[in-house]
Amino acid sequence: MEPVNFTQISKFILLGFSEKPELQPLIFGVFLSMYLITMLGNLLIILAVSSDSHLHTPMYFFLSNLSLLDICFTSTIIPKMLVNIQTQSKVITYAGCITQMYFFILFAGLDVFLLTVMAYDRFVAICHPLHYTVIMNPRLCGLLVLICWIMSVLHSFLHSLMALRLSFCMDVEIPHFFCELHQMIKLACSDTFLNNMVMYFTAVLLVGGPFAGILYSYSKIVSCIHGMSSAQGKYKAFSTCASHLSIVSLFYGTILGVYLSSAATHSSHSGAIASVMYTVVTPMLNPFIYSLRNKDIKQALKTFLVKETTNWSVVLRPQMCPCLQSQAV
């Protein structure tokens, strides 16, 4: 058998959702709206938490980090897609594709780890309330976030290095709206056995492991709540973790739905459409879930907005000329 000569390509083609020109303005408007809502909603959560001293607690510290991650997560994907639609070009350079894939895996991994840390925080708050402030001290909270970053950076760096060893025969078309790792591996002409093994192993270890940790935390939480004698205590304990449980269900539920549906239909195009749920819709809904179900966040947002409105009205209020002031006196 003659050896195949592989050439390093310089660009990829992102096929997106539809090739019909009449649908491009609609797709552009929908994704631009969702991106702006995501940015505004998560930015308001960060500002509310940072401006209200009552929210300087571990739970809201992790929440503000989650909001920052959601901003970075969507910013890795959506701006490039919007630029491609606006310029009517589907091209992304090889370096740009590897960079986008790196940051996508990085922020996706951070989401998984941070949701696990937030589940542990709720476990300590409900099952060990008397020792909560001692256990969840600022040093531990900062250390947990740092560990999440280190693990995510190493995970993303590993996949990026593995992707760099792949060779492609020609300019290839990715049936997705961003450079997704699984699609790149499928399109490679070189041997992808090692890439697939690393991808599946890390998925089980770094996604399944944290998910098992979340399930364990909530099993203990449910057991503690069930053992409470007061109905009011049960409701208060459940309400403190209801928002986080909703986000976990939405995030993992959409990811599971994406890969089950793509495996059932064997259609990359339908997988791309389904991926919108966890890459765009979930980060957009997170601020609404926390603000609508959390009185502290709603009060902090109200106080922040009233304060900012008052400050702007003071700045914009016309000042009386000094000469007129002297005449008035």
The secondary structure of 267-314 as a DSSP string is -HHHHHHHHHIIIIIHHHHHHHHHHHH-HHHHHHHHHHHHHHHHHHHH
Q: Given a cut of 80, is residue 48 above it in pLDDT?
A: yes
CA dihedral 24, 26, 27, 33 (to 10 degrees): 140
Most confident of 40-54, 79-93, 147-161, 253-267: 147-161
Q: CA-to-CA distance for 170 and 11, rounded, in angstroms? A: 9
Assign 114 to helix, strand or coil: helix
Could you tell me the pLDDT band of residue 278, with boundaries at 50, 70 and 90?
confident
Tell me the pLDDT tens digit for each residue of 81-106: 999 998 888 899 999 999 999 999 99
Which CATH class, in words, describes the domain spanning 11-293? mainly alpha
Average pLDDT over residues 199-227: 90
Single pTM value for the model: 0.87
Structure tokens of 191? Answer: 């041997």
pLDDT at 243 (0 to 100): 83
Q: CA-to-CA distance for 273 and 31, rounded, in angstroms? A: 12
Residues 6+ positions from 247 with CB-CB distance below 8 Å = 66, 115, 282, 286, 289, 290
Burial of 49 (0-12, 13-18, 19+ CB in 10 A): buried
Structure tokens of 70? Answer: 């959601």
Which amino acid belongs to residue 271?
G
pLDDT at 1 (0 to 100): 40
Neighbours of 2 (CB within 10 A): 4
Number of Cα atoms under 13 Å in the Cβ half of residue 288: 10
Could you tell me the pLDDT band of residue 4, with boundaries at 50, 70 and 90?
very low
Tell me the pLDDT tens digit for each residue of 242-259: 888 888 888 888 777 776
3-state helix, strand, coil in the chain (%, to 5): 80, 5, 15
pLDDT at 322 (0 to 100): 52
Least confident of 24-38, 43-57, 104-118: 43-57
* Dihedral over Cα of 300, 65, 73, 116: its sign: negative
Structure tokens of 113? Answer: 């780890």
pLDDT at 138 (0 to 100): 94
pLDDT at 8 (0 to 100): 62
Least confident of 5-9, 160-164, 187-191: 5-9
Q: Given a cut of 70, is residue 33 above it in pLDDT?
A: yes
Q: Which residues of 69-78 are buried (b: 16+ CB within 10 A; e: fewer)?
A: bbbbbbbbbb
Average pLDDT over residues 308-322: 63
User: For the chain, what is the mean pLDDT?
Assistant: 84
- Report how far Cα 259 is from the mean position of its chain's Cα atoms: 18
For the beta sheet containing 11-14, the strands, ordered from the edge strand earlier in sequence to the opposite edge, are 91-93, 11-14, 172-174
pLDDT at 317 (0 to 100): 63
Tell me the pLDDT tens digit for each residue of 105-153: 999 999 999 999 999 999 999 999 899 999 999 999 999 999 999 999 9
Answer left, alpha or beta for residue 35, where phi above 0 means left and psi between -120 and 50 means alpha.
alpha
